[in-house]
Structure 1
Amino acid sequence: MKQAKTLTKAELRRVVDVTKACSRYPQRDTTMLLLTHWCGMRVGEVAALRVSDVVDVNGDVRAEITLAVQQTKGNAARVVFVPDRMRRQLQCYLQSAEKPVHSPFLFQTQKTQRFSANTATQHLQRLYQRAGIVGATSHSGRRTFITELAAKGVGVRVLAALAGHRNIQTTQRYIDVNDEMMRNAVELL
């Protein structure tokens, strides 16, 4: 089975720019997309996020999101570490809501229903298609996240923990080796 495309920084920028320019809900859609790219979250985990997972009692965006067993694929709770730029994006999204969030879920469809994993998958697929990114799927963000960290020298055990994988062989399949990584590798000699 062919794997989802990993995106270059320019391709991610293009998807974000097109989403901001063309989407009916640009903050929501950009935030959903970036959670997969900057936090390595599965699309089903993004769809299952509750406001209380992301915002603490003081109204601040958390630096760590604890996913409960029922929110993850492998039925194992895990912690998602949220980089500063993602925290800023989440804050912008929360402030941009046209009306108060009545649902406990962070992301809602235009009919104010929560996204299912399947609906969110299809939604991200449309964002990539609209930007003209061929081969990208809802899993592209996760593969890009793992590949970029691997290229920066993050060890496979840390990558597996960040991805919520129990087996490092699973994580290794996510890493997309490219010419730039090989060029950088030989320069280490």
Structure 2
Amino acid sequence: MTKKAKTLTPTELRRVLDHIATRKHAARNRAMLLLTHWAGLRVGEVAALRCSDVVAADGAVRETLVLSAEQTKGRHSRTVFLSERVRKEIATYLRAVPSHNPERALFYTQKNPLRGFTANTLAQFFFGLYKAAGIDGASSHSGRRTFATTLASKGVGVRVLMRAMGHRNISTTIGYVDANDDMLRKAIELA
């Protein structure tokens, strides 16, 4: 059985974000990472984003992303709702980017600014970010697991969580949620 990606605590996420702030391309790297932690996007979905997916004709960051079947893991289109704080992160990143060609990858790379990251290179990149920040056991899937666990700990129902994760089966969603001590304490207080 393979070990699941680590779910980050708020302190651990802050440590990763602090590390990112000291490196090149901080706005890009922060926005990419937070799309996994705060919007539950898969690393492949982040890599597949185009400027036109995120930026409306008037230049504003969209409130929803409509991911095509080609952009998702299961080849099923899905809608992702972006919170205000996620939209602010994307807007901050976009101010640091000189060009907003609608067909360009949202997240550029030095080697290929038009196509951007592949899912595999972004997964490796995230692994390196977590490792450099001293977070053991974290991987490109840690953001999604943290997203799911955070929502569950705040009482979000499993069906809503399933849709937010883009899953088609509740059992898949349940596997993403960690039951931590704080969640158990809160549950016991309900009895």
TM more than 0.5? yes
1:139 is aligned with what amino acid?
H
Runs in 1 of length 4+ with deviation above 6 angstroms? Answer: none
Please give the residue correspondences for 1:156-171 in structure 2 after superposition, counting only pairs within 5 Å. Answer: 156-171=158-173
The residue number in structure 1 matching 2:10 is 9
The residue number in structure 2 matching 1:100 is 99
Tell me the TM-score normalized by structure 2. 0.95
Please give the residue correspondences for 1:5-84 in structure 2 after superposition, counting only pairs within 5 Å. Answer: 5-21=6-22, 23-84=23-84
| Cα separation, 1, equivalents of 2:140 and 2:108 | 17
Percent of aligned positions with the same letter in both sequences? 54
Deviation, structure 1 residue 101 = 4.2
3-state SS of the aligned residue for 1:174? Answer: coil
| Cα separation, 2, equivalents of 1:157 and 1:100 | 39
The residue number in structure 1 matching 2:123 is 121
| Cα separation, 1, equivalents of 2:186 and 2:132 | 33
Please tell me whether residue 183 in structure 1 is matched to residue 185 in structure 2. Answer: yes
The residue number in structure 2 matching 1:140 is 142
Tell me the TM-score normalized by structure 1. 0.96
Summarize deviations over 1:97-127 as a string: whole Å, max 9, x none: 1x32456210111122510000010111111
| Cα separation, 1, equivalents of 2:116 and 2:85 | 25
CA RMSD of aligned residues (A): 1.0
- Gaps spanning 5+ residues in structure 1: where? none
Summarize deviations over 1:19-47 as a string: whole Å, max 9, x none: 011x2110000000000000000000000
- Gaps spanning 5+ residues in structure 2: where? none
